[in-house]
């Protein structure tokens, strides 16, 4: 068992998976070919001569000498390249900020609430676990690394795998008894979605096999533990007079007391983003319930594949695009306002990235920004939909 775990934690299985999918380091034997295929190179880092990117954690033991540097690489199979690059995006902010609101606006409030609750809890535990365990990411070489921002983080567990597993299966479970679709189809869709995201973390060279398996298993266990309490938690979030206060205070306390690292890592900022969005959305859920805001779905809007008419599709798309525009404007406005106020308070210019990484700046800035996004998505956007006759 110990030998198996060492193998799963090593970089070689990741490198072999990349080679099988047609991704090679430039110059590697067997990876040669048309020089035009060497497009995806953004600078060169060659082994021991590479320098560590400032701000990246200096891991002990198995750590890539090319920390924080990009490699020249050759893509021999563009189908896998684009498939896994797209799949990797399904575990990032661009997916959260589109799919979760889409669910709230177009499918069902209760489904969205459960997904946000599970997503927030699972992601917080995953992010904290990384900075407590401090396991390194795969070595490069032999692994080709396609993402540099996340390389500054530790590896275990894969939060992409955790997010994909929790979101896909919580959506499947929450909709199973409410909407008409085949059980097998929902189960397969959830499995394929999470599997693609998990495999994308190997293809992009960001995680070992053990990181991915660990992330998926931790997420599954948490989902099993949370499921029996879903209804109770949901009821408390909607009815408790203490919900707005606790929804803001508890995430802020968790963010300000995030595990400290020797070097800067984006995990604290990402965690604050997630908890802030969850806090704002939760306050929105509570307020909508107090105001008896109508849900989007009705008997005529049941989500069955055979019931999606052209009229319903147009309304859903209109809700989505209007909502996304409002969310993006909210994010930009609140980020500028928060940075301006914090810059005035702590005396730093708007473009000072080092200052923005400080605890007293990063946490309030991201929390204010994304709690506003969550609140806007659940309160402001539905009101706008109602005014435009899209309810």
Where are any strands of DSSP class E within 73-140?
A: 73-75
Q: Look at residue 68 and tell me if it is in a domain.
A: no
CA 296: distance to chain centroid?
A: 25
Is 134 within 8 Å of 352 (Cβ atoms)?
A: no
Residue 2 belongs to some domain of the structure: no
142 secondary structure, DSSP code: T
Does residue 342 lie within any of the structural domains? yes
Q: Which one from 59, 109, 160, 385 is the annotated catalytic residue?
A: 160
Q: Does some domain include residue 250? A: yes
- Catalytic residue flag (residue 160): yes
Count up the domains in the chain and report the number.
1
Residue tagged 């397969």 (tokens): 188
Active-site choice (59, 109, 207, 235): 207
Q: What are the CA-CA distances from residue 78 to residues 134, 173, 247 (Å)? A: 33, 34, 44
SS3 23: strand
d(CA 391, CA 384): 9
Within a domain: residue 11?
A: no
- Residue 107, domain member (yes or no): yes
- Residue 289 in domain: yes
Residue 17 inside a domain? The answer is no
- Is 207 an active-site residue? yes
Q: Which domain holds residue 327?
A: 84-387
- pLDDT tens, the chain, 391 aa long: 777 777 777 888 888 888 888 888 876 655 444 433 444 443 334 333 333 333 343 333 333 334 445 568 888 888 988 998 898 888 787 888 888 888 888 888 888 888 898 999 999 999 898 888 888 888 877 888 887 766 667 878 888 889 899 999 999 988 887 777 788 888 999 999 999 999 999 988 888 888 899 999 999 999 889 888 888 888 888 888 998 999 999 999 999 998 887 777 788 888 999 999 999 999 999 998 888 765 555 444 444 444 567 787 888 888 999 999 999 999 999 999 988 888 888 888 877 788 888 888 889 999 999 999 999 999 999 999 889 888 7
């Amino acid at each position: 068992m110990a030998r198996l775990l060492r193998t799963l934690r090593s970089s070689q299985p990741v490198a072999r998976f990349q080679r099988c999918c047609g991704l090679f380091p430039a110059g590697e034997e067997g990876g040669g070919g048309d020089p035009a295929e060497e497009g995806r190179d953004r600078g060169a880092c060659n082994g021991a001569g590479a320098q560590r990117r400032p701000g990246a954690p200096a891991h002990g033991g198995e750590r890539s000498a090319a920390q924080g540097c990009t490699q020249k690489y050759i893509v021999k199979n563009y189908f896998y390249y684009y498939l896994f690059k797209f799949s990797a995006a399904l575990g990032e902010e661009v997916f959260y900020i589109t799919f979760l609101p889409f669910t709230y606006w177009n499918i069902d409030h209760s489904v969205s609430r459960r997904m946000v609750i599970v997503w927030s809890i699972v992601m917080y535990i995953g992010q904290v676990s990384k900075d407590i365990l401090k396991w390194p990411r795969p070595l490069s070489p032999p692994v080709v690394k396609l993402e540099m921002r996340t390389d500054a983080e530790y590896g275990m567990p894969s939060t992409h795998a955790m997010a994909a597993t929790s979101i896909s299966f919580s959506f499947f479970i929450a909709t199973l008894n409410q909407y008409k679709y085949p059980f097998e189809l929902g189960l397969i869709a959830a499995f394929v979605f999470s599997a693609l995201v998990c495999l994308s973390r190997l293809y992009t060279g960001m995680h070992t096999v053990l990181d991915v398996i660990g992330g998926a298993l931790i997420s599954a266990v948490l989902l099993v533990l949370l499921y029996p309490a879903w209804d109770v938690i949901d009821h408390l979030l909607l009815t408790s007079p203490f919900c707005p206060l606790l929804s803001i205070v508890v995430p802020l306390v968790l963010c300000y007391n995030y595990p400290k690292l020797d070097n800067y890592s984006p995990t604290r900022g990402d965690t604050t983003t997630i908890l802030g969005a969850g806090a704002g959305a939760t306050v929105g859920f509570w307020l909508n319930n107090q105001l008896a805001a109508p849900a989007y779905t009705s008997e005529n809007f049941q989500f069955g594949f055979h019931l999606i008419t052209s009229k319903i599709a147009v309304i859903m798309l209109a809700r989505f695009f209007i909502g996304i525009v409002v969310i993006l404007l909210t994010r930009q406005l609140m980020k500028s306002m928060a940075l301006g106020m914090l810059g005035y308070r702590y005396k730093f210019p708007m473009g000072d990235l080092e200052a923005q990484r400080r605890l007293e700046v990063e946490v309030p800035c991201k929390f204010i920004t994304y709690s506003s996004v969550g609140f806007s998505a659940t309160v402001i956007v539905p009101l706008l939909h109602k005014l435009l006759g899209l309810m």
